Structure 1
Amino acid sequence: MWFMSIYLKAGLFAGFIVGLVVVAIFLRFTKTDGDSKCKYDERQSNIRGKAYKLSFFTLMIYNVLYGFVDMTVEKPLLDTISAMVIGICLSITVNIVYCIWKDAYFSLNENPRKVLIGFGFIGIFNLVIGCINIINGTFVTNGMVNFRSCNLTCGIMFIVLFATLLAKKVRYGKGEQEAA
């Protein structure tokens, strides 16, 4: 991203720092005991290990496939950061969806309702920013989807996670979900 102005670089850096602060606040907000550290039982830890493995292999396969596609097309459809964010969001989605369905996502000291609300809010917020980038015409540069697609990608990921949490809650009932 050597071609960016100093203001754009400063804005991206500031956005990254704000994102880290929001994550720290979110972690504290979702805990029932005020601690930001998650506490899992042995069963949850084992399942989470399998989920990490699945997400790792998902990212590996995505990178190989993207590499082959990138080699075979004359002009790539995505810039590098957009392609990498898609891969990262795909692997995160695999990890979290697997953990949700195996009852290993929520820690013992976490409030599922607050996480559900947070995922919905974060998803909508990022989708709005992504749509604004599309409407403003800054989403594509020289025929390639650029880094401004990252909000849309993250928004889609959080909406998928929100929908998964909601589906799990509807399918298995409120009582069992909050016990997780």
Structure 2
Amino acid sequence: MSTSYAAGLAFGIVTALIIFALVWKFSKKTMKGKFDERQELVRGRGYKYASFTLLGLITLDLLAESLGAFAKLPVTRELALFFIILTGVMVYALYCIKNDSYFGVGTDYRTYRAVMWVIVVCNAVSAFSGLRSGAIVDGKLAFGPFSALLFVLAFAIILISLSVKQRKAAIEEAEEDM
């Protein structure tokens, strides 16, 4: 292991620990919210839809594996499974955002969005550095760089949907005040 690689790895680990400690400290104060009964019901339906999505996609994955489709696809099996997991998470998150139960009552949205932007930026840096140094292995998309890219896309979609939902709410509130 080269010295520069070890130094970069150590710096990355220390930076991640510092960010984790700060997020953990501030999340105790700003990110705890209570959910009312309607929100709990919506979240339960969101879990149900996400679970059924996962079951359906895993069934398709097993069918594709048994038919030998992964030998023909330019995607590794690991990346396909990761995509399935992220799809389930996205179904849950987007359903909850759509039905106003993503955040609890009294949750500070700015802190939450700031944490999500940090996740997006860190994964974007990881994805682009990984894409430059070996994104395709044996003719297939490698798990490492493309999993980070999938994270960037998933969290960007969540952030965009949160922004759209909050803007719609602000417009509706302004129209009610008139």
SS at match of 1:173: helix
Whether 1:50 and 2:45 are equivalent positions in the alignment is: yes
Give the total of aligned pairs.
158
- Whichever of the two has the greater Rg, that structure is 2
Indicate the residue corresponding to 2:176 in structure 1. none
Give the whole-Å Cα distance in 2 for the aligned partners of 1:103 and 1:28: 26
Which one-letter code corresponds to 1:83 in the other structure? A
- Residue 8 of structure 1 corresponds to none
| Alpha-carbon distance change, 118 to 174 in structure 1, aligned in 2, over 3 angstroms | farther
Deviation at 1:98, TM superposition (A): 0.6
Distance between the aligned counterparts of 2:99 and 2:34, measured in 1?
16
Deviation, 1:140, is: 1.9
Deviation for aligned residue 1:88: 1.1
Q: TM-score, normalised by structure 1?
A: 0.74
CA distance in 2, matches of 1:54, 1:100: 14
Q: For the Cα contact (< 8 Å) 1:30–1:112, is it kept in 2?
A: no
User: Unaligned 5+ residue runs, structure 2?
Assistant: 1-8, 174-178
Comparing 105-114 and 116-125, the one that deviates more: 116-125
Q: Is the 8 A contact 1:82 1:147 kept in 2?
A: yes
| Number of the residue aligned with 1:3 | none
CA RMSD of aligned residues (A): 2.8
Q: 2:35 aligns with which of 34, 40, 43?
A: 40
**More helix by proportion, 1 or 2?**
2
What's the TM-score once normalised by structure 2's chain length?
0.75
SS of the counterpart of 1:121?
helix
Is 2:131 the counterpart of 1:142? no
Runs of 4+ in 1 over 4 A off after TM superposition: 35-38
Distance 1:174 1:28, change over 3 A: farther
Unaligned residue ranges in structure 1 (runs of 5+): 1-10
